Structure 1
Amino acid sequence: MFLRVQIILLSALFFGCSTSKESESQQTLKKEQSAVETSAPKEEERIILFFGNSITAGYQLDMDQAFPAIIQEKIDSLGLNYKAINAGLSGETSAGGKSRIDWVLRTTPDIFFLELGANDGLRGLPLDETYKNLQDIIDAVKKENPEVEIIIAGMMVPPNLGDDYSKEFQQLFPKLSKENDAIYIPFLLEGVAGNPDLNLRDGIHPTPEGHEIVAETVWDYLKPLLEEE
């Protein structure tokens, strides 16, 4: 039953992202551009680039409340030379991500966090195109830094798109992770989706407290990479 609630809420989440007003997307893009442009790393700092949609962007929140900023706080508390850059954009699709990845890669990442594709699924787009777009994004990142570590966040789509489509969609992310030797996070909103106390009034997007939990989920997968250095 809880899984069903999660899927329904995820449907609303990404549908809301894909139909957000143009002005909201423009504002988010400006925030993203500002973050990248003002986040020039020191020479010794290594870069973690978070590339995704409204979850990464911190929809309706200040960027310092979104989970990438919380990750930065954890990094700083350990005295590690890593800088987290938030390149999230509300409403982003895999095709949109592909079109802007070269601009974002003006800063070369050492760790690349990919959180895209769900908006494709909610629109029922051909999954071979989604896969190709995500692979092209990864290829662009690897071309910039062949030694980059990649983390991929898996997503879900509602069953009304058909069982075959839903299953194929869910299999897309672990397959992409395996073929690129990437780390796979099965569900980014674990412990957040379905809890009204952890989502905004729309019942869709995480509150600051929700982002704290998302950050903990990400940290479990990210921290071992940082400790390898």
Structure 2
Amino acid sequence: MNLLKNKLSHKVLLGAWLLVSSMAGCNSKTETNQAQEEKPEATASQSEKPASEKKKTILFFGNSLTAGYGLDPAEAFPALVGEKAKAAGYDYQVVNAGSSGETTAGGKSRISWVLRKPVDVFVLELGGNDGLRGIPIKDSQKNLQAIIDTVRQKSPQAQIVLAGMQIPPNLGPDYSEQFKTMYTDLADKNKLTLIPFLLENVGGIRKLNQPDGIHPTAEGHKIVAENVWKVLEPVLQKQQL
């Protein structure tokens, strides 16, 4: 997770989303370009759509797990969750704001930039790199709380889903237990929807992880997507009511 291979590419992708999202009613950057070049009058009418008709957005904010390190972005769990949502009849735009090597401190520093446009569902997946580095739990928890507070300030309508994480007992059983409990405490305090353990049935299983033993393979991401979808689908159902 402490690798930086995909960081620049995902920031570029995120920047593209922020540009596209300013043009209401467009489903993708390609479609927006086509509308501008071929049907400028259609673009104008789309921009006048009321807010209620704009496509809702799910934003995944995390580290290399969210970014899909070592894989094509289409194989990463955010994209797979987006496919599940579409198949289930939910019309959401999925934005992958994962950044390889991200810590909670790094997430805190870039969250305001990421949320320049409002979102409807915010999936927060950070902390794993903190745990691997042995960063004090209180510091990680403080940073995550700051991110949650910023989301509620910038996108008060957003439903926040917190992805729980666990780490090996390398730094001692007390640290590992406190790290795990941190997510439950944050979810309880802020009344968030919690994914108990993002890497359930994937973490520590050699065949489902890349050679580094940390980042899931494409098959591993399919299982992670299932873990997320079980928790996320009820959230989307409530938003349709």
- Give how far 1:48 is off: 0.9
- Please provide the CA RMSD for this pair: 1.9
Aligned to 1:157: 167
Aligned to 2:144: 134
- Give how far 1:158 is off: 2.6
User: Is the 8 Å Cα contact of residues 169 and 176 (structure 2) preserved in structure 1?
Assistant: yes
Aligned to 1:97: 107
Aligned to 1:26: 8
The share of aligned pairs that are identical, in percent, is 50
Counterpart residue type for residue 213 of structure 2: G
Work out which structure has the larger RCO, using CA pairs closer than 8 Å and 6 or more positions apart in sequence. Answer: 1
Between 1:35-44 and 1:112-121, the stretch displaced more is 35-44
Q: Larger Rg: 1 or 2?
A: 2
Aligned ranges for residues 61-100 of structure 1 at < 5 Å? 61-100=71-110
Q: What TM-score results when the alignment is normalised by the length of structure 1? A: 0.84
Segments of 5+ residues of structure 2 without an aligned counterpart are 26-52
- Give how far 1:39 is off: 5.6
Deviations 1:152-210 (A, max 9, x none): 11112232312322222111100000111101112111122233332223333112221
User: Is the 8 Å Cα contact of residues 6 and 69 (structure 2) preserved in structure 1?
Assistant: no
Aligned to 1:47: 57
- Give how far 1:28 is off: 3.9
1 CA distance for matches of 2:143 and 2:109?
Answer: 9
CA 1:58 to 1:37, structure 2 compared with 1: closer, same or farther past 3 Å?
farther
2 CA distance for matches of 1:126 and 1:204?
Answer: 21
- Give how far 1:45 is off: 1.2
Number of residue pairs aligned between Structure 1 and Structure 2: 211
Q: Secondary structure at the match of 2:98?
A: coil
2 CA distance for matches of 1:68 and 1:36?
Answer: 17
User: Is the 8 Å Cα contact of residues 112 and 150 (structure 2) preserved in structure 1?
Assistant: yes
Segments of 5+ residues of structure 1 without an aligned counterpart are 1-16
Q: What TM-score results when the alignment is normalised by the length of structure 2? A: 0.80
